[in-house]
Structure 1
Amino acid sequence: MGLNMKKNTLQFALFAIFCAAGAAQASDGTITFSGKLTSVTCGVHGGEAGATGGNFTVVLPPLSTKALASKGAVAGSTGFNIVVGGAEDTGCTDGTKASVHFEATSPLINSASGNLKLTSDSTAANVEVQISDASAGNALINLFTNRTSTPVVIAKNTATLPFTAQYIATGVATPGTVNTNVQYSISFN
């Protein structure tokens, strides 16, 4: 065998050893995923009584920036509801629990605070919007880490999930418009 042939054989042998070493590594465990699909088909109605569809706007009150003059100051608490089902919504089964799941993919969620940052067309500064779960004593909802509301039991083919929203200062708030949004879905158990 020539020197080049020995080099090629040695290189091939080393390559085979490294490939086999990677294939011989043992797994450390298995992750199993499970879920549940339900036949519950409740309509979603947000905001004001008689509203249709799941898209709606919560109008926070106009406030003086004096109410939000320091980091952490909150003001303008405003209640709103998300209603599932209705009297004629027979697919919305009594006894089923409904909860709201705020989607982590919503681009305006501040991962540090769990609140909602303002859209780029907002003109106010140093303010975010905070959401609370009114059915849990107005417990704050960290939209980044704990995005699901307290479940509410469906009765007479409907359930109302109550929330509050409010301004929270991230510094000395400056005047202007406040706009933000969050995506959500309804979970049934």
Structure 2
Amino acid sequence: MKKNLLLFLLAVTSLAALAPAAHAYDGTINFTGNFVAPTCTINSGSPNLTVTLPTAFTTSLVSAGQTTGKISFSIKLTQCSGSTATAYLSGSTVDTATGHLIVSGGATNVEIGLLNNESQPIVASAAAGSQNVDVVNISSGSATLSFYAQYVATGKVTAGAANSSVLYTMIYQ
């Protein structure tokens, strides 16, 4: 009798372990997405730019805040839909204290500062909309974002290469 009771309890326990647990659904999570064609063609399909700043003398930057070597560059947009465009600038080369670009290559106590079309400082990596990058109107499917780059001293500059880069993301409205 004990043997039958033991087999019976073993069978009931096995069935209980195999029975599915009771579940109640609390809700549904829906996912939506969308793909769109690029809004504009950037620089005739070549979005990477190289801006060559002029060679400068170390004696032109001897104290923090001095600038030299201002040069213009632009991002040209064509085949656009939308009404306005701007750029968001970011990357690991941005000095978050100044918003300037940290240089590599040997020169010290210098960064590269970016300016908007009106020569006002851009604060790269600041929140979108507060970097001081121009917002330009798209007219007849085209627009141009104009910038300046210049050397900015953080102290007495020493000789060497001053190279940097920044990532940009176009923002269209």
TM-score (norm 2): 0.73
- The match for 2:87 among 100, 112, 118 is 100
Give aligned pairs, total. Answer: 137
Q: Name the aligned partner's letter for residue 82 of structure 1.
A: I
Residue 111 of structure 1 and its aligned partner are, at CA, apart by: 1.0
Residue 150 of structure 1 and its aligned partner are, at CA, apart by: 1.8
CA RMSD after TM alignment: 2.0
Is it true that 1:133 corresponds to 2:120 in the alignment? no
Work out whether residues 99 and 148 of structure 1, in 8 Å CA contact, stay in contact via their aligned partners in 2. Answer: no
Percent of counterpart pairs with the same letter? 31
Aligned to 2:98: 113
What pairs with 1:1-189 in structure 2 (closer than 5 Å)? 41-45=39-43, 52-85=45-78, 89=79, 92-93=80-81, 96-103=83-90, 106-119=91-104, 122-134=105-117, 137-145=118-126, 146-147=130-131, 149-189=133-173
TM-score (norm 1): 0.67
List runs of 5+ in structure 2 lacking aligned partners: 1-34
Give per-residue Cα distances to partners, 1:118-148, cap 9 Å, x unaligned.
Answer: 13xx1111100000011xx211011132336
Q: Secondary structure at the match of 2:170?
A: strand
Q: Name the aligned partner's letter for residue 62 of structure 1.
A: T
Q: Name the aligned partner's letter for residue 161 of structure 2.
A: T
Largest Rg, 1 or 2: 2
Residue 41 of structure 1 and its aligned partner are, at CA, apart by: 1.8
